[in-house]
Structure 1
């Protein structure tokens, strides 16, 4: 066991196993799912009320690709398919021609499952306040940042 003040990196094997388990969690919703769908979900989960334009910047996807991936995540889904119901598209009150994206109750549950899954992969010394991270303001940078603001002190068995 490491000293109380030491912080360790996840081993490569633990990191890959956690990533595999995360992908399997999404595959449990739909076996054949493009990788962009979980990416869009994770960004919406981190940035409450994010716009389509900001999603385009953060993902590097075109407007049509963002729209297509968002439709998979909403309740309506793409033509001919039911959606996953993880996010909801609302009219942005600041610009009625724009949309803002938020997690649904099921989306927040998915974040809880992902957090629990990652917590099992590592031992977390400090509990992570998921709700506070989801409500944190969006960073000024447009660069994609996975789990922005998440600072976990971990050690590996």
Structure 2
């Protein structure tokens, strides 16, 4: 592998070493590259410099805008290697591929059940916590980090 600039090589090496020298001064999250820090800071500031020419919706990063534009173009550049189905977003392809591979990367810390999607785990956790009363008189929701008293749960 060759690099045209020293900075590209340095960035590549940080990925292998795990070194994240760029820190957010608001939340202390760390990043491999300065551009990733700048993109992250827009979450704190609310800045959305990328605008859709069709509907005017604004986005904090260019990749979100590009994904949005595919709604209008109908482009589906991500293809399933198993069945050939196409998707407009890579994350949707990743979730779909788990149907074929059987991968279930999301695990319940309480009972050990595994799920292919984060949303399914979230539903499982909330359903388990709110349907059983064996934990205590106060329940803690692992999704929202809120606490509930039994008498307040309907």
- Fold match by TM threshold 0.5: no
TM-score, with structure 1 as normaliser: 0.20
TM-score, with structure 2 as normaliser: 0.20
